[in-house]
A and B are shown apart, each in its own frame.
Chain A
Amino acid sequence: MSQTAAQTSSGAGQLMSVPALLERNATVHANRPAYREKEFGIWQSWTWKQTAEEIEALALGLLNLGVAEGDFIAIIGRNRPSLYWSMVAAQSVGAVPVPVYQDSSAEEMAYVLDHCGAAYVIAGDQEQVDKVIEVKDQLTNLKHMIYVDPKGLRKYDHHQLHQYSHVQEQGRAARDEFSDDLAARKAKLTYDSICVMLYTSGTTGRPKGVVLSNRNVVESAKNVSMFDKLTEKEDILSYLPMAWVGDFIFSLGQSYWCGFCVNCPESEDTMMTDLREIGPTYFFAPPRVFEGQLTNVMIRMEDAGKLKQKMFHHFLAHAKKVGGLILDGKPVGMMDRLKYRLGDLLVYGPLKDTLGYGRIRVGYTAGEAIGPEIFDFYRSLGINLKQLYGQTEATVFITVQPDGEVRADTVGVPAPDVEIKIDDKGEIHYRSPGTFVEYYKNAEATASTKDAEGWVATGDAGFIEESSGHLRIIDRAKDVGKMASGAMFAPKYVENKLKFYPDILEAVLFGNGRDRCVAFINIDLTAVGNWAERNNIAYASYQELAGHPRVLETIRNHVEAVNASVAQDEMLSGCQVHRFVVLHKELDADDGEMTRTRKVRRRIVEEKFADIIAALYDGSEQISTRTEVTYEDGRKGAISATLTCVDAKVQSPMAQQVAAE
């Protein structure tokens, strides 16, 4: 067992809050790096000791500004050490940190800030400050705002606005005055104090504030850190939204539990470069990141020389054959092993380095299903990529895949201390130390989600595979429906198969209560754009490319291939796509069509594009439509387009029914 695990047995008694963990790290790991951030082209780093000092200065500064126990402090911005410190400083003074999605519009932000009654806001930069100022009139509780990056803010009215570093300076200056108060407030923190409040992105309705206690966070972080044998030597890259529970657990919970280093990229655009420079040992990404990287690799290989291409494809084929088996510790022949070694030297090693996965020990993907081919690609290179299943209400972890039992089609076994049951409707329920306290100011929703015994309904339908004990997810329980014929309608199943093609970014299937299924497709501009360039197809806009006959033809081939594969499944063969359109715009969170975590809001899409769905069902060849779009700065505009409805071949047994009509 690791050193960290050994410490836990001795110290677990007192380690009942994040500030307490910080105190331990500042002693035990005093000179190990806690945070790194690339700024001005150089990785700056802070040890745990320095981190503790920074956080203390900020906490004293917050006391100086008059933060009371139980106040809510909203934290908005991209992943930066200073904002992670803000969360811990807030906890230290007995306040509740509420990280908010940084790409939320001002209105969305207003809802969250008003709902929790935030008294303080700590924002990353001018953009976020502007948004809060825009809706300030609706926020009666708001007392002070703090910003990190002063760029562009010099001339703002500073009555309620403070620069982060000044707050810290004032805190340091007032140390004598407030240090007793700070120590007293920290001492009051227990396992049942609120650790954080996170707003769910909400595929339906308004976001709900999920209250997580120190017990939820510390226990979950501890359990899974031990499950994966994480130590203080790990390096992670923190680039996923801070408001998302996953980032909170990985970058805060687990980092503080194990004492490992959190690395923050320079900006959103530099994430891939920074990933390569850091080479994390523990990594978490939604499938779209892995998909995007694979697409990029393939595009770049097409530009490479003949010899390189040959070598790449040859060794990749070999990796596909034995790589996964070697990773799982299964028996593989001597020659194959040697060849894999050679491949590692020539292809896999350099490739992993380029991707930033050279040092990875444990990698997770979650949030959506990942394409089996993509999953296997990474595993065959020797990257220990695994899947987990979780949600905010569970403090992430419900099931995880143990090393050596990794498959693309399951999400693993229950995480340590988690109990799972499937009800008679097929919905998954769980109970664990991570089970959330409540939805803030929403007792009704709390009661309908969590029963008296602590069981939580996930809203997902699934089953436990008898042979392996692994959980398999079918779909969101409320999305699973019936077609007119009575056959099961599980849209996600088909959509995922479609999305596994690099050309297809997003797909939405319709067919609940209907006699057949139709689909919306979003093309992936990177992949299709590159293809167009290669084939000398000129296009001026996304819309034009999306409507190009050759693009439609390619997509039709994909859809038909998916139909063939769906037809194999007896239960779901009714879900084959009869007709589809390639949409003229990308589904976007700014237009409300997706959540901030990029999950499709099915109902809104259905309402918004009702005319297109109607055209798909009534057999029209084309449909002219006009769609309202919202720009990033909140302005609205509209785009008009004429879309072609494309017919796709379907396979029997559905074909027979169509013939019978």
Chain B
Amino acid sequence: MLDAAESYVTEDGRTIGGVVMEMKNITLRFGGVVAIKDISFDIREGEIRAIIGPNGAGKSSMLNVISGFYVPQEGEVWFHGAKRPPMKPYEVARQGIARTFQNIALFDGMSVLDNVMTGRLNYMKAGMFQQAFWKGRAEKEEVENREVVEKIIDFLEIQAIRKTPVARLPYGLKKRVELARALAAEPKLLLLDEPMAGMNVEEKEDMSRFILDVNDEFGTTIALIEHDMGVVMDLSDRVVVMDYGKKIGDGTPDEVRNNQDVIDAYLGVSHD
């Protein structure tokens, strides 16, 4: 087992750093329903960490705990070596965590560009009056932020839809726009909630490519939820497997693939 501060180099030559986020004995309940039961795992700097599991396993709840949207009844979230107190989502965002949603949450009537610009919110300091009258630092900020956004648009190859209202886009592209918006926040930790749900093979391949590129190019740490096993195994460095709110596996894709509990959860067991 690696030490929390130790780093290592992967087969494809990427350096994975020490632990940036650690979940310690998390339990999350909604009334009498236990969504997550005593789960612990960590996320290392620069890695792609997947959380998988069948429907209803508690994956999205887990992501919401990481993003600070849910506060667990028991357990602790440690981020950059400090225990994180309960926070408002915008405070979490300021810590450098950005996310995408399973059921796309974009502003439908706004253009792709404007949607991605909203990801820069934390970098805009000009007040309402300055913004409204285009005075003071408002203009300078807009230009700077637009530059960052344009580089992301170029990176994700969505130049052609820059001015298109999001509502008119097909599903696969909306997902990409969501990724763009999350990237616009220049996150240190990027959370992706089922980035490939409902996509066809080609769209999945594109999305996988972009996720790898983001990780490679910006060194962003990525935690993602996905239930397409094939994709997860190809993408991630380490995988947490959940079933009925419990952790049933944790390790490299190969370790997880050969874990009997995981096989049972995915393929089912006979009850005779």
Contact = CB atoms under 8 A, between A and B. Distances in A.
Interface of A: 39-42, 151-152, 154-155, 266-267, 269-270, 273
Given A39-B154, A152-B213, A155-B13, A273 B160 contact: yes
A154 B218 CA distance: 12
Contact of A41 (B13, B162, B213, B217): B162
A155 B157 CA distance: 21
A464 B155 CA distance: 53
A41 B160 contact: no
B83 interface: no
A40 B213 contact: no
Nearest to A152: B213
Contacts of A39: 154
Given A151-B217, A269-B160, A41 B153 contact: yes
Interface string B153-173: 111010110110000000000
A544 to B, nearest CB: 15
Contacts, number: 33
A266 B155 contact: no
A39 B159 CA distance: 9
Given A151-B213, A270-B159, 9 more contacts: A39-B154, A40-B151, A40-B153, A41-B113, A41-B146, A41-B162, A152-B213, A155-B216, A270-B160
B150 A151 contact: no
Nearest to B162: A41
A155 B153 CA distance: 23
A557 B146 CA distance: 52
Contact of A40 (B13, B154, B157, B216): B154
Query: What are the 4 closest A-B residue pairs judged by CB atoms, nearest first?
Result: A269-B160, A40-B150, A41-B150, A270-B160
Contact of B159 (A152, A155, A267): A267
Interface residues of B, number: 17
Nearest to A38: B159
Contacts of B153: 40-41
B139 interface: no
B160 A152 contact: no
B113 to A, nearest CB: 8
A441 B13 CA distance: 44
A482 B99 CA distance: 67
B155 to A, nearest CB: 7
Most chain A beta-carbon neighbours within 10 Å: one of B147, B153, B154 = B154
Contacts of B163: 273
A270 B159 CA distance: 7
8 contacts: A40-B147, A40-B151, A40-B153, A41-B113, A155-B13, A266-B159, A267-B157, A267-B159
A40 B148 CA distance: 9
Nearest to B14: A155
Contacts of A266: 159
A44 to B, nearest CB: 12
Contacts of A154: 216-217
Nearest to B153: A41
Most chain B beta-carbon neighbours within 10 Å: one of A41, A269, A273 = A41
A155 B15 CA distance: 12
Interface string B91-109: 0000000000000000000
Nearest to A150: B217
Contacts of B146: 41
Contacts of B113: 41
B155 A41 contact: no
A39 B150 CA distance: 9
Most chain A beta-carbon neighbours within 10 Å: one of B155, B159, B216 = B159
Contacts of B162: 41
Contacts of A267: 157, 159-160
Contacts of A270: 159-160
